Amino acid sequence: MAGTTRCSIRGSNAPGLALPCLLLLLLLAGAGVSNGQLQVGFYSKSCPDAESTVASVVRQSGSADPTILPALIRLQFHDCFVRGCDGSVLIKGGGNNNNNAEVDNGKHQGLRGLEIIEGAKTQLEAQCPGVVSCADIVVLAARDAVAFTGGPSFDVPTGRLDGKVSNLRDADALPDVHDGIDALRSKFRANGLDEKDLVLLTAAHTVGTTACFFLQDRLYNFPLPGGGRGSDPTIPPGFLSELKARCAPGDFNTRLALDRGSENVFDTSILRNIRNGFAVIGTDAALYNDTATVDVVDSYSGLLSNFFGPYFRQDFADAMVRMGSVGVVTGSKQGEVRKVCSKFN
């Protein structure tokens, strides 16, 4: 497929069924592209340089530290899966009613990129005070991070408001590295996302690394079928030795690629690794433990899918847009446009 994706018709992978991009964009403009009250180009009049400003900040940050790009993709996931895409994960120093903030939950361990969002917000406040929400900046930054890692370029609807609540326990709903496939499917369904979305969004692990902290139980404290604990028996012996050589018992800080052998390239290698037993973390491996997700993984793992579909890059972009529309706040009573992303107005 072409290197970037600018337009598509969801549910149609056959090239013959796609409208030319220019025609599609004209149709969308006439229809007022929206998801609820979200709209592509929402800031085109109120803050014309909003999207380019966010892209510039992300590009500069990624040039200085390429590891921040996968972190920004992860940041959107962590925001949208807790109370929806409302910027609640950005709040620091206590949440509503003096409760601990959402970001303090252990499930956000290792979360990075909050300062990038704040940096973009500072520039936007200078350009267009009180206009661009932090929640939208998170989604735009993730979109740009995908493109800057070699993934597809795509449009995202904007117009979210920032939420007014950030509570520690709300983040308990996040997927966990110990979750099996049933738990993962349930958590995705709770956000209106299906098995295909689960596979596609997990495939964001095509870029980035993880800490040995998240492998310790899988390598050394995994519950065994016959009782006792040891290593996950589904890990191929050679790969298990490789992982143990990188992550010794008690080593929480060493980092290793999530997509073995292709950690710097946005591609479908992560899905082939999952299919072949080389998933690094347990939740990735779990995708090959259920018929529905196995079928999705296999559909993108074959070489012919690049020519005849399904088209991974386009479908990944569509899944990111769907996730970015989860639980959005658009009513002024429930939301606001923060002046500073890390605290309520």
Residues of each annotated binding site for heme b = 205
Whether 171 and 88 have beta carbons less than 8 Å apart is answered as no
Binding residues: 79, 82, 84, 86, 88, 175, 205-206, 259, 267
- For the record, the structure tokens of 42 come out as 């929402």
Task: Please classify residue 297 by burial: count the beta carbons closer than 10 Å to its beta carbon, then call 0-12 exposed, 13-18 middle and 19+ buried.
Answer: buried
Whether 311 and 291 have beta carbons less than 8 Å apart is answered as no
Q: Could you give the angle at the alpha carbon of 172 between the alpha carbons of 101 and 99, nearest 5°?
A: 25
Give the C-alpha separation, 284 to 53, whole Å: 34
Is 178 in the active site? no
Whether 124 and 47 have beta carbons less than 8 Å apart is answered as yes
Omega within 30 of 0 (cis) for the link into 236:
no
Binding residues for substrate: 175
Exactly one of 55, 57, 78, 203 is catalytic; which is it?
78
Whether 203 and 316 have beta carbons less than 8 Å apart is answered as yes
> Which residue carries 């993984």 as its tokens?
297
**Residues tagged active-site:** 78
